[in-house]
Every structure is written in structure tokens, then in C-alpha cells.
């Protein structure tokens, strides 16, 4: 889903195909490696490679498409062919995006992403050689976005847009810029450019996710509101192509929960639990479902399990609320305090609610003590 060329061509062949099914054969069938371009036209936009490098390059692109970067990199790293160099830079870029980056913290503490550094070194060498090669501007623009250099990102991504106006990845990257930067390209807001990205490649999951999220957050949040309806329609349409994309499943389930379609949300969260049985967020989400259904004992089990897995922070608040609801003030006080200990900042609404919970429980305990005497 990260490369629009792959998904566009696959969708033209057969909507029932998936990239995983097609490309998994690349690693096992050498004949398929040789014929993949002929059969599907996936690599039709690539400049010619030397024959001896073609197999490894196609395998590397397949692994790259499947986000298996550690398998992709050795096949093209340190190769002289410029296609291999650009793919190597793209791999480093993707690996760099996986590194957590705190922009606020790094305003004061200098941090240089080592993967980005390697990617830029390769691309700058290509530019120095006066070679205007497809993909270079996009990679540099994507890196600039992550590093918060939005002026550079604007320049590189608009160059990438000129290079390939039909590349949905470029449209997605441009969508993170301010609206005023999009106006010269004919887009008046983020929804417009994301809509274009999805129309170019309906199977590009990141663009679908961002568009659906934008629709919902810009709407009223009501069950019949335009934003809600468009968000749900966008995700349900995507599920006709691929129905097991975790982020979109989770987003749709959250939307259902927000508009009180509890049973629909429950089904999707159950599916996510089957996919990721050790993810504390899934226990937290199912805890919310049972909490909404007022099945407090069952909800408590899920919240405590989420805490047990990795101290899922907001599960403490809900566990405390349920303990108080069930009359267990000692445990309610304990879990409210545990949530306050994990306060993330002045704008941590759940921590403030936990503080109020502590005051309320202490007042109730004091009142109970007075009445007991």
C-alpha cells in the first residue's frame, strides 16, 4: 500500500487480488520474478536495469512493498545502478520514519536521524551528478516533513508532483502542509488533496485512513452528520479492497463507538483482538465497549488486563471509575492515584478527572466514616 504503482496496477488486474498474495510469490518463484513486469506492468515506469541486477531489484521492490526493509536492503545496497541507489535511499527513509521523534524535545537537544542521514547522502550524490531521477524529490520531501523543515518539504514535494502528478504518495505527503501551500496546485483544503490521493489509488490505506479521519474530525460527530457519513463510507468502500487493515478497522470501530453503534464497534474490536491478542489497546477498547454496555465487571477485567500487559495508561482511570461504581472505594482510590502518577502534562484531561475522582472518593469515605460513628 505504500507504493501507488503497485496498488494501481493490481487493482486493474483483478480487485480480488492482494499485494501480499501476488508479491509473496516473488521470493519463491524465479520465473515470476522475471515475468512480473510483463504480466502486471508494475515496474513499467522504471528505467532499464542491467539484466544481472534485475532479479534482485524486483525482489527488493517486492520486499519494500511488503515493508520488509531488512530483507529489501541487502539486495540493492552498495549497487552502482541508479535505480538501486534510489531504492536504497527510500529504504533508509522508511527505516528512519520508524524512529520515534519528539519535535518539542529536539528543539533543545540536537538529534540527527541516522537513517535519514544515509538516505540524504545517497540522494545528494545523485543530485550532484546532475541526474534528475524519479523518486529523489519525493524522498527528500518526505524526510523534510518529518524533520519539520516545511519550506524544503514544499519545494521537494512540488517537484515530485511535477515529476509524477498521478503518484498518490506525493498527494498524501503534500496534505501535511498548510493549505496556503496547496493553492498553487489547485487544492483548497486537505480533504480535496486526500480525496485525489484516494481516487488515484483506492487501495492506499494511509491516504484512506487520513481522509476518513479528516472527514470525521471536521464534522459534527453526530450519527447522521455529513462528516460522519463520509468517513464511514470512505472506510467501508476501502474494505471491499482489503478488510483487515488494522488502523482503518480501529478508526471505524472508534467512529462507531462515538456515534453509539456499540454492537458494530464491538465486532470490529473483536476482530482486532483476534489479529493482535497481546495488544493492550485492544483490551482497553473492549473495556470501553463493555463499559458503554454497563457490563462493569467484564469491562473491569479488560482494563486490568490492559494494565497488566503494559500499564495501559487510561485503563487506570476506567478501572478506578468501575471500582467506585461497584462500591470498592479503596481500589478506586488506588487506581485514581496511579493514573495521576502517570500525568503526561498540563493538558492531560484524564489525569485531571482522576484528581477529581480522588477528591470525590475521599469525601465519600469521610462521609461513610462519620455515619458509621
For the residues 280-292, what does the mean pLDDT come to?
Answer: 97
- Check whether 189 has a pLDDT greater than 50: yes
CA distance 284 to 240: 28
pLDDT band at 112 (very low <50, low <70, confident <90, very high): confident
Domain at 145-203, CATH class? mainly alpha
For the residues 153-168, what does the mean pLDDT come to?
Answer: 95
CATH topology classification for 298-373: 1.25.40
pLDDT at 335: 97
CA distance 289 to 295: 9
Cα 201 to Cα 12, 97, 208, 306, distances in angstroms: 11, 22, 9, 36
pLDDT at 8: 32
pLDDT at 51: 53
Spacing of C-alpha 5 from chain mean position: 20
- Summarised one tens digit per residue, pLDDT across range 167-178 is 999 999 999 999
* Residue ranges, CATH 1.25.40, the chain: 145-203, 298-373
pLDDT at 17: 40
Lowest-confidence region among 26-35, 53-62, 129-138, 203-212 = 26-35
% residues pLDDT > 90 (the chain): 70
pLDDT band at 46 (very low <50, low <70, confident <90, very high): low
% residues pLDDT > 70 (the chain): 83
Amino acid at each position: 500500500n505504500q507504493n501507488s504503482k503497485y496498488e494501481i496496477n493490481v487493482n486493474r488486474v483483478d480487485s480480488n487480488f492482494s499485494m501480499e498474495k501476488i508479491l509473496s510469490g516473488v521470493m519463491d518463484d524465479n520465473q515470476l520474478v522475471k515475468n512480473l513486469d510483463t504480466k502486471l506492468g508494475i515496474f513499467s515506469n522504471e528505467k532499464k536495469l542491467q539484466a544481472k541486477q534485475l532479479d534482485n531489484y524486483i525482489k527488493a521492490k517486492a520486499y519494500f512493498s511488503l515493508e520488509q526493509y531488512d530483507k529489501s536492503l541487502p539486495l540493492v545496497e552498495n549497487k552502482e545502478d541508479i535505480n538501486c541507489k534510489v531504492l536504497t535511499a527510500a529504504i533508509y527513509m522508511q527505516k528512519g520514519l520508524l524512529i520515534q521523534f519528539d519535535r518539542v524535545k529536539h528543539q533543545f537537544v540536537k538529534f540527527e536521524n541516522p537513517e535519514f542521514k544515509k538516505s540524504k547522502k545517497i540522494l545528494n550524490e545523485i543530485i550532484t551528478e546532475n541526474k534528475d531521477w524519479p523518486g529523489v524529490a519525493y524522498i527528500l520531501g518526505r524526510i523534510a516533513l518529518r524533520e519539520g523543515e516545511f519550506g524544503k518539504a514544499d519545494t521537494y514535494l512540488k517537484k515530485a508532483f511535477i515529476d509524477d502528478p498521478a503518484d498518490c504518495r506525493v498527494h498524501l505527503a503534500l496534505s501535511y502542509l498548510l493549505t496556503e501551500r496547496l493553492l498553487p496546485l489547485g487544492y483548497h483544503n486537505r480533504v480535496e488533496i486526500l480525496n485525489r490521493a484516494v481516487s488515484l489509488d483506492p487501495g492506499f490505506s494511509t491516504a484512506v485512513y487520513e481522509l476518513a479521519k479528516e472527514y470525521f474530525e471536521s464534522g459534527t460527530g453526530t450519527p447522521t452528520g455529513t462528516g460522519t457519513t463520509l468517513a464511514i463510507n470512505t472506510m467501508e468502500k476501502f474494505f471491499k479492497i482489503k478488510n483487515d487493515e488494522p488502523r482503518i478497522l480501529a478508526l471505524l470501530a472508534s467512529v462507531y463507538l462515538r456515534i453509539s453503534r456499540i454492537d458494530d464497534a464491538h465486532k470490529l474490536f473483536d476482530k482486532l483482538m483476534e489479529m493482535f491478542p497481546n495488544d493492550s489497546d485492544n483490551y482497553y477498547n473492549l473495556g470501553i465497549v463493555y463499559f458503554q454496555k454497563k457490563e462493569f465487571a467484564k469491562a473491569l477485567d479488560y482494563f486490568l488486563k490492559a494494565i497488566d500487559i503494559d500499564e495501559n495508561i487510561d485503563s487506570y482511570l476506567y478501572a478506578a471509575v468501575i471500582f467506585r461504581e461497584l462500591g470498592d472505594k479503596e481500589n478506586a482510590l488506588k487506581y485514581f492515584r496511579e493514573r495521576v502518577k502517570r500525568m503526561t502534562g498540563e493538558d492531560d484531561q484524564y489525569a485531571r478527572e482522576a484528581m477529581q475522582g480522588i477528591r470525590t472518593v475521599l469525601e465519600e469515605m469521610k462521609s461513610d466514616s462519620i455515619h458509621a460513628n
